[in-house]
Amino acid sequence: MVSRGKYIGSLPPESSSEQTAEKASSPPRTPPTTPHPSGWRVDPAPDGRGAPPQQKPPLIPRNRVFIWILLGLLAVNLLIAILTSGPASRPQVPYQPFFVDQVTANNVRDISSTGDSIEGTLKQEATYTPPGGGDPVKVSNDFKTEVPTFIDSSAVTTLLTEHNVVINASAPDSGRSVIGTLILGLLPTLLLIGFFIWLFRKQAGGGRGGVLGGFGRSTARRVQADSQNRVTFKDVAGIDEAEDELEEIVDFLRNPQRYTKLGARIPHGVLLYGPPGTGKTLLARAVAGQAHAAYFHISASEFVEAIVGVGASRVRDLFKQAKEAAPAIVFIDELDAIGRSRSGNVGGLSGGNDEREQTLNQILTEMDGFEPGTDVIVLGATNRPEILDPALLRPGRFDRRIAVNPPDRNGRVAILEIHTRDVVLADDVDLDRIAASIPGSTGADIALLVNEAALFAARREHPKVEQRDFTDAIEKILLGAERQVVMTDADRMRTAYHEAGHALVGMLTPGADPVRKISIIPRGQALGVTLSTPDSDRYNYRREELLAQIKVALGGRAAERVVLDELSTGAESDIQNLTQVARGMVGRWGMSDTVGPIAVTDGRRDGLLLPGAMPASEPTQELVDKEVRRIVDEAEDEVIELLQRERDRLEALATALLERETLDQPEAYEVAGVPLPGGEPVTVPAGGPGSDTPTSGSGDDQAR
C-alpha cells in the first residue's frame, strides 16, 4: 500500500559563469555624482547605496503648462455656467385673440409683467393658429406675449382681476442664483482637477507600470524575525523527521560560511508535501523563526489575477523584497495552484491557462537566478505532489522534498502537550490515553479537539478541563452533536439490531479491529454508530484484515436480514465503504488472483488515477466488477452464517442497546460474552477527525 515515488531528473541549470563573463566584458556605468541634502558630495554605489533619499512628489504639480490648463478649464466651465444660468425660454404667443381668450376662459393661473412684456402660466394646455396660417401651435404651460402700446393698461388689469389671475411683482423664473452658478461652474472642474492630481501622485509613486503598477506588487504577508509571535521548533511536535531535514536549512541561514567555504550551496527550494493539517505552514514559520530570518507568506492562488502578466510581476516583486530582507524564507502555500503540470491529463487534470503558466515560468526563472551568497530559500507546500510540473521539481529548484505525515502516538502526545500549555487540566486527564484513541489525527485535528474540550468545560462551568470533556469533544467532532429525534419503537429496534450486528461481527472476526463503542443515539446524519479502531497506528493492511473490514460493514445489513427478514436504507454508508475497500483490493493492491497485480483504479471516490494506472478497457472493467461482486457476496454469506450461529449474542447486544442506548468497550464485550482483546481497553471513541487510517465501523444512515 506504500507508493514509491519516481525521481524526475533534468539537466542542471546553466552555469552563471557565462553571465558573469558577459557582465565583465562591458564597462560598468558610473552613476552621476549627486548633491546630498546634508551638503556632502556623494557618489552612489551601483546598488543604490549612498544615494540621497528620494523626495516625495508635491501635492500639486508645479508645472507651468499644468497651471495654464487648470486656469483654462476653470474659465471655460465658469463661462458655460453663466451662459446657461438664465431662465428657461418661453414660447411667444399673440396677445389677441390667444391671450385675451385664455384669460376670458379662466385658463390663466398667473402672470408677471415687465414693461410691455407679459410672462404667464396656463392652467391647461391650449392651441392657437398662427396669424399667417399653418399648423396649430400647442402651448403647454409657460408662455410670454407683448401688450400693444395702444392697449389701455387699466383695461388689461381689470380683465385680469375679473378672472382671478394672480399678478406677480417679479418674473416667476429669474434663473439660477449667483451662488448656484459659481458652484455649478467650479465644482466639476475642481473634482476633475482632484482626480488628475491623484492620478499624477499614483503615477509618481507607483514605480514601473505607473498607476497600474500596484497590481503587480506582491501581496505576500511578511512576519519580522524579531516578532513577539515568533514560531520556533519548540512550537512544533510530532513531525521529528521533517524537523531533522530542515535543521540543515536553519543552520545555513545562521552560519552560511560553514558551507560556502567548502564549496557547498544550500538547496534553492524545499517542497513540503503531505495531507492537510499536518503542519506544513507551521513548520515553515518555525524554520524562519529558528533562523531569525524574514518570513514571506503567500498563497499560490494570490499570484493569479484577471490581468495577464500580473502574476509574473508579483513574483518578481516578491523575490526582490526577499533578497532585500535576506536572510529570508519565501513560503508559497498550495503550490499546485500554479505549479500544476503543463502537460495534459496529469492526475486527471488538464494543463493550465496562459496566466498561470507565465507565473510558473517566472518562479522558475527567479529560482534559477539565485546568485551565490543569496540567503533566500523558497519553501513550497502542497497536498498533491504528483500533479506538479516536472520542471518545478528538477535539481536546482525544489531540490529537497520532505514528507510531512500525520504523527504517531508519541507525536500526538507531544502535540497535545503543546496545545494544552495554556489549558487548565484536571488531574484525571490522561494525554497518552487520548492520543491512543485518535490514530491518524493531524496537528490541526488535535488543536480542534483541545479547543472543543475547553468549550465543553466552560459550558459546564468546570474549574478545569476534565477527561469527560475530551471524551465528549471526540464524539462531537467524529459523530456530530446529538440530535433530539423522536424515533418509533420499530426504528429503535431496527437500529439496535443493525449496530449489534456490526459489533458482534467485529468481535468474532479474525483480523477485525476491536470494538470501542456502540450507540443508538442519533448524531449528525447517523441514527447509530459502532466504532472500531486498532490498538496501535497502522501503516499496512493484510488481505485478511481488509476482508474483515468488509464483513464488519456487512454486519448491520446481515443482522436486519437474519432478525427482521427485511432490508432498509440504513446500510447506505456501509455499502459505499465496503465497495471502496473491495475495489481497492482488486484494482489497486493486486489481491485478486483473477485480475492480478495490475493497477486498474486507485479506489478513490473521485476516480482520479495513481501514477502508472491507465483507464481500464471494458472487458477489464467488467472483470473487476465481477471480482468485486464475488468478494462481497462471499463475505456476506459468511456474515449471515455467523449471525445465525450466534443469534443469542446478537439478541443480548440489541436488548442492552435498547435499555442503555450506549455501550462502552468493556460493557459491550461483557454483554456479548466475548473476551476483551489484548491490551488495555480504550473507552474514548477513536478514529480522529480527518484520519486517513481505515477504521471498521458503521453509521446507520438517517434516510430509510
At residue 145, the 3 state secondary structure works out as strand
Using the structure block, give the residue that is written with the C-alpha cell 554605489.
45
- Residues 245, 366, 499, 560: which is the catalytic one? 499
Determine how many CB atoms are found less than 10 A away from the CB of residue 265: 15
Cβ-proximal residues to 517 (8 Å cutoff; 6+ apart), any chain: 529, 530, 531, 662, 663, 664, 665, 668, 683, 685
Could you tell me the end-to-end alpha-carbon distance of the chain, in angstroms, rounded to an integer? 36
Give, as one character, the DSSP assignment of residue 225: T
Contacts for 357-361: CB closer than 8 Å, 24+ residues apart: 358/308, 358/309, 358/311, 358/312, 359/303, 359/304, 359/311, 359/312, 359/314, 359/315, 360/389, 360/392, 361/312
Separation between Cα atoms, residue 641 and residue 395, nearest integer Å: 59
- Integer angstrom CA distances of residue 459 from 349, 420, 453, 463, 561: 47, 18, 10, 11, 43
Q: What are phi and psi of 280, to 5 degrees?
A: -65, -45
- Residue 499: active-site member: yes
Separation between Cα atoms, residue 315 and residue 303, nearest integer Å: 7
Cβ-proximal residues to 327 (8 Å cutoff; 6+ apart), any chain: 253, 256, 291, 292, 293, 294, 375, 376
At residue 163, the 3 state secondary structure works out as coil
**Type of residue found at 21:** A
Separation between Cα atoms, residue 108 and residue 77, nearest integer Å: 38
Cell digits of residue 168: 406677480
Contacts for 538-545: CB closer than 8 Å, 24+ residues apart: 538/439, 538/693, 538/694, 539/2, 540/1, 540/2, 541/1, 541/694, 542/511, 543/585, 543/591, 544/510, 544/511, 545/511, 545/512
Separation between Cα atoms, residue 507 and residue 677, nearest integer Å: 9
Cell digits of residue 403: 514528507
| Cα dihedral 204, 210, 214, 216 sign | negative
Determine how many CB atoms are found less than 10 A away from the CB of residue 433: 15
The three-point CA angle 39-41-43 to 5° equals 140
- Integer angstrom CA distances of residue 201 from 74, 218, 456, 512: 21, 20, 55, 72
> Could you tell me whether strands 328-333 and 294-299 are parallel, antiparallel, or unpaired per DSSP bridges?
parallel
Q: Which residues are catalytic?
A: 499
